[in-house]
A = this chain, B = another copy of it.
Amino acid sequence: MVYQAKETGPQRYREDIGRYFEDFIVGDVYEHRPGRTISEADNQWFTLLTMNTHPLHFDAEYASKSEFGKPLVNSTLTLSIVAGMSVSDTSQKAIANLGWTDIKLTAPVFQGDTIYAESEVLDKRESQSRPTQGVVKIKTTGTKADRTVFITYERTILVPKRGHSVDD
């Protein structure tokens, strides 16, 4: 997280979170905290709320006969949590998320697993059409508590320069 206490009056401080374009340094790695333990409720609710009907995520009997032997956490849930955990370090001031490339699911995630994420700054460039903004490319990696990497992806975000965010 990038956190500043913006002074808005005498002995008065407002939380201000997130990076401006100028704050990203190519090659820097941000370890996001806190992590998150994924529960059975998370997996079942998320799967059904997103209209996903694959029984591997909510039918333990079916899952017991699969090659995993138990329910698998929905990969859009792990992706969403990993992306969510990265926001306060990367995109909390962003104008928009532009997309992802190369989302690789490298290991199964199970209910009860605790996951963490970190992001490396791959590239940054000024926007040609928007002089007060820039485009930042990051690579995010999701790891379990035992250090197994279960997801990697690259994500591109449009971020404001200092003085040009919604709260400035």
Contact between A95 and B83, CB atoms less than 8 A apart: no
Chain A residues in the interface with B (C-beta under 8 A): 17, 34, 36, 42, 46-47, 49-56, 62, 65-67, 72, 74-77, 79-81, 83-85, 87-88, 91-92, 94-105, 108, 166-167
CB pairs A–B below 8 angstroms (19 shown): A17-B53, A46-B49, A50-B84, A51-B84, A51-B87, A53-B92, A55-B92, A62-B167, A65-B166, A66-B95, A66-B166, A72-B96, A76-B79, A79-B79, A79-B80, A96-B105, A96-B108, A99-B105, A101-B101
In whole angstroms, how far apart are the Cα atoms of A94 and B6 in the complex? 50
Contact between B167 and A50, CB atoms less than 8 A apart: no
- Which residues of chain B come closer than 8 Å to A50, judged between CB atoms? 77, 80-81, 83-84
In whole angstroms, how far apart are the Cα atoms of A67 and B142 in the complex? 31
Quote the shortest CB–CB distance from A132 to chain B (angstroms).
11
Given A77-B80, A80-B77, check contact A51 B95 (CB 8 Å).
no
Q: Residue among A17, A66, A81, A166 with the most chain B CB within 10 A?
A: A166
| Candidates B53, B84, B98; contact of A52 at CB < 8 Å | B84
Q: Give the 10 A-B residue pairs with the shortest CB-CB distance, closest first.
A: A52-B84, A50-B84, A76-B80, A51-B84, A100-B103, A50-B80, A99-B104, A75-B97, A50-B81, A65-B166
Given A52-B83, A85-B51, check contact A166 B108 (CB 8 Å).
no
